Amino acid sequence: MSGLIALDWGTSSLRAFRFDGEGRLEETRARPWGIRHLPEGGYDAALAEITGGWPVLPRLACGMVGSRNGWREMPYLDTPANAAQLGGALGSLRAADGLDVHLVPGLRDPFGPDVMRGEETQLIGAMALRPSLAEAATFILPGTHSKWAEVRDGAVAGFRTLMTGELFAVLRQHSILGATGAEAVNDAEAFARGVASARDSGAAGALSRLFSTRALMLDGALAPASVPDYLSGLLIGEEFRAALAGGLGGRDTPLQPIGDAALCERYRRAAVLFDIELPPPIADAAAHGLWRLATQAGLVHDAFQESRAC
Amino acid sequence: MSGLIALDWGTSSLRAFRFDGEGRLEETRARPWGIRHLPEGGYDAALAEITGGWPVLPRLACGMVGSRNGWREMPYLDTPANAAQLGGALGSLRAADGLDVHLVPGLRDPFGPDVMRGEETQLIGAMALRPSLAEAATFILPGTHSKWAEVRDGAVAGFRTLMTGELFAVLRQHSILGATGAEAVNDAEAFARGVASARDSGAAGALSRLFSTRALMLDGALAPASVPDYLSGLLIGEEFRAALAGGLGGRDTPLQPIGDAALCERYRRAAVLFDIELPPPIADAAAHGLWRLATQAGLVHDAFQESRAC
């Protein structure tokens, strides 16, 4: 029996993928057991449950499971780093079932400094799924901590984190901007207004327009229920403005989103206002990245790769 | 008996000033009774207590007491607006003691849009205390919602709010940047590093460097206990970077802080890294602004002004 159990284990969720010996994804399972929300019994119990009934196979995990607050801390590899380097730097731990769990290291961009855990695996997977992008592309991975990553010659060359998602959450839940007294509604027009305001903020940036969210509401020019979508547009627009102003996502290389379809759709709508057409996002990038790194590390025998090499 | 009871009534605190008939500040009292923290009995009880034992005098209040969530909502006056216009636009309410409380309107900058309540009175007071600045100056009023205000020919010409203080508070209390596991220490060097990082972020802005706070800590390049001062420097530095990039605080006009000495000292240290030397802050600006507006409105007889006018 050959194959791989691949684990994408983040802060708020755990996903497990079972691959057959030829890299075909046979089954996917998901649990709300991020490293901050483990079930009773902790990591071992979560692992046993989510892989219940699956054959004994090599296991490889990426994400915050390898962080300081995770199961075992893995070091960061400095950029630039490619699949061979990441695959050659796996660590491992012995689980309670007596078998190993291998862990992918995180990546560190010394020019930030900046760090990522989990996204490096998604980037490897995205390059495996779209080999044409491995030469030169900028990937956007929206989320709590959005990443803009530059890829060159199959390696992650550098990246920058923008705390868009977390900023939105804390401002909405804990700042005066969230105190609207109204139930939020979807308002695509308010979202677009927010994006445009960030785009037009120039070098000052949208931080200097944050308070305008409230001023517009007091003015009666923004419905209280539309404040969250306006704020979301302002912050995602600021992510584009700042990334482009910082030299990320130059127009000579493709810009490719990776991740959740609904969130990437927001990014696609924001990009339009910057005259950028974003393609549909790449899905299941983490799973395919884990497969790719497992083959690099020799954890599994990659029949397809071998046949290509002949 | 002539004179004025002036009230600076904000979100988190209430200060009362008693002026004699010639505009001399005779007594100051402070209570932690901002409009969100009123004592039992509400506004009337707070007013009765803080003015207890004082003679019956005209009463004038500025600040959030005149907001939608305050005692009585006052409209905003559009910029540009001077002391005569603000003094001519006071409103009033009848307190439980049967006497009036007059209220200063807020200011609205239609080019933000942006709004202020209370700072307009501080600006009027600062111009009264430093007439040489009334011609042309930029005032910085640091705080939860910092204001940068342009003054021209005795009028508030325009302003911009930067949510520096609130952003610092929510990021420290509710984001991953606050999760340092360490008790904060004062670290002037970390503060300066944060300011410099914001200054050097160029057109991308410091929002794109927010996460570097955590990366530096994980790197061992920033002590967990110094993260708050680094973050404070990054956000105050971003306030300067954004304000200057947005055309506020041009080097041809004086830049003058107003407000709390400790906070203004942080701003002075940040300004040094932008090659700007900030003078000591103007204190008691609200009290003197209330006096000035009261004389403009005819609430008190300003012997000094009259003698000047002769």
Q: Is the pLDDT of residue B23 over 90?
A: yes
Q: How far apart are CA B138 and CA B126, in angstroms?
A: 11
**Residues of chain A neighbouring B202 (CB-CB closer than 8 A):** 203, 245-246
Tell me the residue type at A6: A
Length of chain A: 310
Average pLDDT value over all residues in chain A: 94
**Range A115-120 average pLDDT:** 97
- Higher-pLDDT residue of B78 and A306 is B78
Rg (CA), chain A: 21
- Higher-pLDDT residue of A253 and A273 is A273
pLDDT digits (tens, 9 = 90+) for A129-145: 999 999 999 999 999 99
pLDDT band at A279 (very low <50, low <70, confident <90, very high): very high
Inter-residue contact A294 to A6 (CB < 8 Å): yes
Residue B164 vs residues A65, A201, A230, B182, B242: alpha-carbon distances, Å: 34, 17, 20, 23, 11
pLDDT of residue A59: 98
Q: How far apart are CA B227 and CA B177, in angstroms?
A: 8
pLDDT digits (tens, 9 = 90+) for A31-42: 999 999 999 999
Q: Is the pLDDT of residue A76 over 80?
A: yes
Residue of B69, B107, B144, B170 to mutate when probing chain A, most A C-beta within 10 A: B170
pLDDT of residue A179: 87
pLDDT band at A307 (very low <50, low <70, confident <90, very high): very low
Exposure string of B71-89, with b = 16+ CB inside 10 Å and e = fewer, is: bbebebbebbbbbebbbeb
**Range B256-278 average pLDDT:** 97
pLDDT of residue B179: 87
Q: Is the pLDDT of residue B53 over 70?
A: yes
Rounding to the nearest 10 degrees, give the CA dihedral for residues A277, A281, A285, A286. Answer: 110
Q: Is the pLDDT of residue B159 over 90?
A: yes
CB contact A219 to B (< 8 Å): yes
Rounding to the nearest 10 degrees, give the CA dihedral for residues A263, A87, A90, A24. Answer: 60
pLDDT digits (tens, 9 = 90+) for B93-127: 999 999 999 999 999 999 989 999 999 999 999 99
Q: How far apart are CA B28 and CA B126, in angstroms?
A: 18
Owner of token pair 């500025």: B62
State what percent of residues in chain B have pLDDT above 90.
91
Exposure string of B107-135, with b = 16+ CB inside 10 Å and e = fewer, is: bbbeebbbbbbbbbbbbbbbbbbbeebbe
Q: Is the pLDDT of residue A251 over 90?
A: no
pLDDT digits (tens, 9 = 90+) for B160-199: 999 999 999 999 999 999 988 899 999 999 999 999 999 9
State what percent of residues in chain B have pLDDT above 70.
96
**Residues of chain B neighbouring A209 (CB-CB closer than 8 A):** 112
* Cross-chain residue pair A145–B211, CB shorter than 8 Å: yes
Q: Is the pLDDT of residue A310 over 80?
A: no
Ordered by where they begin, the domains of chain A are 3-130+286-309 (3.30.420.300), 162-272 (3.30.420.310)
Question: What are the tokens at A232?
Answer: 């979301």
pLDDT of residue B252: 82
pLDDT of residue B261: 95
Q: Is the pLDDT of residue A306 over 90?
A: no
Q: Is the pLDDT of residue B222 over 70?
A: yes
Q: How far apart are CA A227 and CA A221, in angstroms?
A: 11
Question: What are the tokens at A68?
Answer: 């300081």
For B243, name the nearest residue in chain A, comparing CA atoms only: A204
- Higher-pLDDT residue of B251 and A237 is A237
State what percent of residues in chain A have pLDDT above 70.
97
pLDDT of residue B308: 45
pLDDT of residue B92: 97
CB contact B145 to A (< 8 Å): yes
* Cross-chain residue pair A215–B115, CB shorter than 8 Å: yes
CB contact B252 to A (< 8 Å): no
Longest CA span, chain B: 69
Eight-state DSSP code of residue A258: B
State what percent of residues in chain A have pLDDT above 90.
90
